[in-house]
Structure 1
Amino acid sequence: MYIQTVLGPIQPEKLGVCACHEHLYVDLSRIKKNEDTCLQDTGLVLDDLKSFYAYGGRAIIEVTNDGMGRNPRKLAEISKASNIHIVASTGCYKDPFIPDDKLRWNRDQFAEWMIREIRSGIADTGIKPGVIGEIGSSLNEFKPIETELFHGAVAAAKETGLPLSTHTTLGTCALEQIELFSAEEMPLDQVIIGHQDLNEQDEVVLEVLKAGVYVAMDTIGKENYRSDNARLESLLKFIEHGYEDQLLLSTDLTRKSHLRAFGGQGYDVVLRSFVPALRGRGITDEVINKLLVGNPQRAFSIRKAGDMSA
């Protein structure tokens, strides 16, 4: 098993402390009509990453995909300049962010395209994605194009062994995503269900965990959605129920205003404030190491080499 970064494959044990769901070069302004959602200043991002690195951060799963301003060459530049492992993504996000040229695609077309990127590299860059994501469902529903996208992503994941990372809008539809994966006989330990710290129904998240997927508590620091203290209480409950081997942490930074320079949480918020809060509640370094290092190593390892070897 190995992890595919933008600079090439690495052994999982080389990954280090990992943020499981981030954006380093992203543009959502086409849909959101807000320039704050165009985060494409690599200088600003690199400045912010210095603190992430200083707190021990060594790896980032970058889930910006086609339609979100994805640029693998920029990710390679950032990786080299920051000395941080970066994993790029293949796939599309959700309605209405799916690019116009793919709006009428069916599952087979999505699958064929993702498999081609995984095996040959993104566009003409030669840079291979290491994760399928973030593949999204809408608020409390799957739009028809999202259903096709999910099925295509499952086919690509089963064919190539890449992990599949999802978006759940405000935490909704996680169980419905699992139902779709189960119906397609997708190995659930190959799946990362996103944004479950936005799901305030702990009992539902416990059902998600019980299914065997990885669960991302990945919007830490976004207190306009939910307080980090509430996220902390939920995480403590999940650990108490024995799911410490399935939990991942991140902040999902997508805006210029999220950077520390503009008063935001920064890429370091998990390591700077959330992890110390966990320690303050009695969570051991052994468990914290699982959340930050051990679990990402397993979650983002590619299960089989197949035709993906360079």
Structure 2
Amino acid sequence: MAGSITTVLGPIAPEALGTTLMHEHLLCDITPPALRGRPELAVPITPRNRYDIDYGRRPNTEKTKLLDRELAVAEVAAFREDGGDAIVELTIGGLAPDPLGLVEVSRRTGVQVVMGCGHYVQAYHAPENATRGVDDFAAEMIDAVRHGAWGTDVRAGIIGEIGCTEEWTAQEQRVMAGAVIAQQETGAALTIHPGAVPDQPMEIIDFLKARGGDIPRTIIDHIDRTIFDHDRLFRLADTGCVMEFDLFGYEHAYWSFAPITMPNDGVRIDMIRALVDRGHLRQIAISQDICRLTRLLAYGGHGYGHILRNVVPFMREKGFSQAEIDTILVETPRRLLTIGGEAG
């Protein structure tokens, strides 16, 4: 596997990977455990209620279930029509991963899909995770990369998104320590979901460094809902990690999961521009982290092609060169997804 990119259909040469979204969900159930089993919240989504449900103040357990393979095929095919080539799909333990469904989506659309592995935040963990140790979690992730994940022979091509909560739990830290071992053993990149507190990304980096993690091949997700000041942003950039702005298309200031004010796409682009101007172009990844039906085209949302249709032209208007855009959308994904090292 070394020197190649592992997709759900098998290995490909790095140069075969084109425009890539680094953090999406195609088939998942991300319904908060506290809301599951409440039929009064399973309200069908209609044009009349869609906006309010998407906004986040109206709890709804239908919007967080992306389980329809036919719908996934249609949405990914639309992304292909918008010029997209590949998607990194990070539905992992606790979120109802469907490797065989990803195989079907990739085969039917022609879009390359790279699958993640590991476990999300503790609230979504299976009960047996409470007694599992670091080496057990590491062995699971190593096996997922080398042989297949979730009882299939479909191999993961990246580790994560490994979940952390605001008050990082001991159980989540055991998963993270196992992920570091898996990164060392397989050469796969590691992608991490931090808690929504601005200092946790640096706490995570310190944790990884102490255990021999490969920081330049580590991606800190959700920067655009976690860090809002240049001081913290630049200190994180100086560690050499990759910073992922992966909530493009989310334009609501209200964030139902934490008391923060969310940026819009223009602010995200400005933050990226500040990093590029400081010399961190090769440390930036972008995506949309779609995990709700209301963000799909079929439900009046922006769909997986939003970055290509809308954000890239906006970036050009804000002074980004085509070479810079290609670095973010093609070259950096190639480098990160190549097992064991550099490419592109």
Partner of 2:15: 13
2-structure distance, mates of 1:170, 1:221: 19
Percent identity over paired residues: 32
Partner of 1:308: none
Q: Does 1:42 align with 2:69?
A: yes
- 8 Å contact kept, 1:214–1:299: no
2-structure distance, mates of 1:203, 1:112: 37
1:178 is displaced (CA, Å) by 0.6
Show the 5 A alignment for 1:109-120: 109-120=136-147
Partner of 1:208: 236
Show the 5 A alignment for 1:1-310: 1-29=3-31, 31=33, 32-33=35-36, 34-139=61-166, 141-170=167-196, 172=198, 173-198=200-225, 199-224=227-252, 225-303=262-340
Deviates more, 1:164-173 or 1:7-16: 164-173
1-structure distance, mates of 2:326, 2:89: 21
Partner of 1:215, secondary structure, is: strand
The 1:171/1:285 distance shift into structure 2, 3 A limit, reads farther
The 1:5/1:137 distance shift into structure 2, 3 A limit, reads same
Partner of 2:45: none
2-structure distance, mates of 1:19, 1:134: 14
1:171 is displaced (CA, Å) by 6.0
1:110 is displaced (CA, Å) by 0.6
Deviates more, 1:166-175 or 1:91-100: 166-175
Letter of the aligned partner of 2:159 in structure 1?
I
Partner of 2:85, secondary structure, is: strand
Deviates more, 1:59-68 or 1:96-105: 96-105
The 1:179/1:102 distance shift into structure 2, 3 A limit, reads same
Structure 2-normalised TM-score? 0.85
The 1:11/1:70 distance shift into structure 2, 3 A limit, reads same
Gaps of 5+ in 2: 37-60, 253-261
Partner of 2:269, secondary structure, is: helix
Deviates more, 1:78-87 or 1:107-116: 107-116
2-structure distance, mates of 1:300, 1:171: 27
1-structure distance, mates of 2:145, 2:283: 25
- 8 Å contact kept, 2:191–2:221: yes
Partner of 1:135, secondary structure, is: strand
Letter of the aligned partner of 2:188 in structure 1?
L
1:170 is displaced (CA, Å) by 3.1
The 1:280/1:30 distance shift into structure 2, 3 A limit, reads closer
Count residues with an aligned counterpart: 303
- 8 Å contact kept, 2:76–2:105: no
2-structure distance, mates of 1:62, 1:104: 28
1:14 is displaced (CA, Å) by 0.7
1:123 is displaced (CA, Å) by 3.7
Letter of the aligned partner of 1:279 in structure 2?
R
2-structure distance, mates of 1:69, 1:246: 30
1-structure distance, mates of 2:331, 2:113: 17
- 8 Å contact kept, 2:183–2:214: no
1:30 is displaced (CA, Å) by 5.7
Partner of 1:169, secondary structure, is: coil
